[in-house]
Amino acid sequence: MRQWKMVALAGGFAVLAALAVPAGAVAQDDGLTEKYGACMDASGGVTINMKECIWAEHERQDARLNAAYKHVMGLLSDDRKAALRTAQRAWIAYRDANCGFFADPMGGTLAGVLASDCMMSETAERARELEDIASMY
């Protein structure tokens, strides 16, 4: 059991280190904003600063997702609207459950960073998917 905890801890530190890499050092093709990159660059790898950057970006991505969803809904027939509505509700349930998994109460401050990053990343990815759907119409 102790060895498992050490492996999990080492993996967690690797993820945290990856999050702390200056955003400008990584090509961003993920739809995240320059504000997010600048904020993470300025965070100094400090957990609370990183979480604030992630949460602010999540808010921006959520607005992007909602705009894309409304746009797509305006393009679809009633049957396709119902199908998208069902898919969107299922996606929200998946995102919340999946990202909630990372919010392990025994995971310390890293768990909060991972859960927040998951919400932000999943939301950005779904926004991109909806934008791609809109481009097909």
- pLDDT tens digits, residue range 83-133? 999 999 999 999 999 999 999 878 788 899 999 999 999 999 999 999 999
Output the CA angle 47-49-53, nearest 5 degrees.
Answer: 115
Q: For residue 89, what are its two tokens?
A: 């509700």
CB 119 within 8 A of CB 99: yes
User: Is residue 4 scored above 70 in pLDDT?
Assistant: no
Domains: count for the chain: 1
- Please tell me whether residue 100 adopts helix, strand or coil conformation: helix
d(CA 59, CA 86): 23
- First-residue to last-residue Cα distance in the chain: 53
Report helix, strand or coil for 74.
Answer: coil
Boundaries of domain holding 6: 2-135
Average pLDDT of span 39-63 = 97
Mean pLDDT across the chain: 85
Q: Is the pLDDT of residue 46 over 70?
A: yes
